[in-house]
Amino acid sequence: MTGCQNFDLKAQRQLFDRYAKLLLSISLKYCNSMADAEDNVQDSFIEIYHTINSFKNKGSFEGWMKRIAINKAITKFKKNCKVVPLDTAKNLYPITEVVIEAEEIEMDIVLQCIQNLPPQYRMVFSLFELDNYNHKEIAELLGISEGTSKSNLHRAKLILKEQIIHYRQNRHHGAS
């Protein structure tokens, strides 16, 4: 880390090599495509290199880098996507738990299903389910209400459930 603080290119390359895959996997949860995720990783590392002196060894360094990658993706999302707050949606669609029957599905299939979600649903789902943000935090990050966050999460789960059911049906028909 000291080398990166002194803008040592070799140290920066070592940091990149060590954490690029991790930040890519995080970025894929929030970005529309592999290319967008790769761009997000590059942008994240640029910020990491320029702000590494602000890391105060409180919490994990890896966690600090993850937050940078997530925040970069959120900033791009807000810039490129018009989020329409649908506060009335909570009254139109009852928020119930969406249960997907347990059956092992490859992680790349799950990730592909998440990437196929509409952007604002993917963003809320990833923040809530994958990175443990609560609805208040999501609302603040995305500039929406907590009700909209809850509604978007519910809709994301419904869409994911349908995608997984469709995947299972196609897989079972292909195996017959």
- 107-125, pLDDT tens digit by residue? 778 888 888 899 999 999 9
Write out pLDDT tens, residues 67-90: 999 999 988 888 876 544 444 344
Question: What's 89-175's CATH class?
Answer: mainly alpha
CATH topology of domain 2-80: Rna Polymerase Sigma Factor; Chain: A (1.10.1740)
Indicate the domain borders of the chain.
2-80, 89-175
Question: The whole model's pTM is what?
Answer: 0.72
Compute CA distances 11 → 1, 2, 42, 58, whole Å: 7, 8, 16, 21
